[in-house]
Amino acid sequence: MNCRDLEPLVMPYLDGELVEAERLAVERHLTECAGCSKQAEVGRHNRTLLRTLVKAGTPPAPESLKAKIFTSVRAVEARQRQGRFLRLSAAAAGVALCAFVGHQQWRSFQRRLYVEDAASRHARQFPLEVRLPQPEALEAWFDGKLGHRVAVPRFPNAIAEGARVLNVREKQAAYIRYDAPARASAQPRQVGLFVFGDNSNDVDVGARGAPDLRNSNGYNVVTWREGDLVYQLVTDLEEDDIRELLPSEPPMRVPVPVPVPTRRPLDVQPAAFQR
């Protein structure tokens, strides 16, 4: 190794970055060459001095900075945890929402099944077990036949034809058939009314007990609830006729036009108009 070869190796040598063989070669040359030895000594001195001075002049991180950093790290961790919690909550809320929507749809589907069953049973014209026009007599006839008392609704314009016991799906119901007048034809139309107990609220009648009108198999089916009793009225009457039929039924909120009092014109005119 000559002096020219040594030059690029001095700095890595002083930094301790040479592999064993290179280091030994450099050291051998340094023992033999006074000039290079002097240069290496200067290099070592300057390197040490620089490092010492740089380090001496470098202050530690302010305590306030350290405190701020650890506070921030903790805040981020808390946020991450909160984020996970929120994501979990969102997922839980999603599941709950799906369950709720699913439940609602299930209820709606169930109600639909009751409506369809009532309509199809009414359509099949099962023979009546008793023919009595008076509601009181029908109530007396039903007494004891079902698990609940049957209050037979009084429809002002309809006349009861008779009654029987008939199921709507799995519910044993009182079935009363009426004849009701229709505007569209001279012939009265048949109205079937099912009354059954539903204390488990299987038939989800719309909000606040308002009657629910649906169409099934060409029949209009009105469903309402009074306490534990569900009423299903099945008919081929038009909607207007149904309203006519149930004017006094409290849940059926039909807006009644307020009669405007008409005043008889006075037979008096201003003097100027008098001839």
Partner 1 sequence: MLGFSTRSDKTRAEFEGLVAPWLDSLYGGALRLTRNERDAEDLVQDTVMRAYRFFDKFERGTNFRAWLFKILTNTFINGYRRQVKERSLGDESERQSVEAQFFSADTTDQAQNPEDFLLQRVMSDDVLKAIDGLPIDFRMVVILADLQEFSYKEIAEILDVPVGTVMSRLFRGRRQLEGLLRKRELAEEAPLVDLNAYRERKKLG
Query: Closest separation between CB of residue 87 and partner 1, Å?
Result: 10
34 versus 272: smaller Cβ distance to partner 1: 34
Query: Closest separation between CB of residue 4 and partner 1, Å?
Result: 16
Residue 81 near partner 1 by CB under 8 A:
yes
Instruction: Candidates 48-56, 161-169, 196-204, 244-252: pick the segment binding partner 1 (CB under 8 A).
Output: 48-56
Site string for partner 1, 20-39 (x = CB under 8 A): ------------------xx
Query: Closest separation between CB of residue 31 and partner 1, Å?
Result: 19
Beta-bridged to residue 219, according to DSSP, are: 216
Residue 55 near partner 1 by CB under 8 A:
yes
- Cα 56 from Cα 58, distance rounded (Å): 6
Query: Closest separation between CB of residue 39 and partner 1, Å?
Result: 6
- Cα 157 from Cα 225, distance rounded (Å): 22
Pairing of strands 171-180, 189-197: antiparallel
- Cα 226 from Cα 224, distance rounded (Å): 7
Query: Quick one: how far is CA 120 from the chain centroid?
Result: 33
Q: Which of 70, 100, 106, 109 binds partner 1 (CB under 8 A)?
A: 70
The C-alpha angle 150, 156, 162, rounded to 5 degrees, equals 45
Beta-bridged to residue 12, according to DSSP, are: none
Instruction: Candidates 44-52, 151-159, 164-172, 188-196: pick the segment binding partner 1 (CB under 8 A).
Output: 44-52
The C-alpha angle 49, 54, 60, rounded to 5 degrees, equals 140
Q: Which of 3, 24, 27, 65 binds partner 1 (CB under 8 A)?
A: 65
Query: Closest separation between CB of residue 57 and partner 1, Å?
Result: 3
Beta carbons of 220 and 119 less than 8 angstroms apart: no
- Cα 191 from Cα 205, distance rounded (Å): 20
Query: Which residues make up the interface to partner 1 (CB under 8 A)?
Result: 11-12, 15, 17, 38-39, 42-43, 45-47, 49-51, 53-62, 65-66, 68-70, 72-74, 76-77, 80-81, 84-85, 88
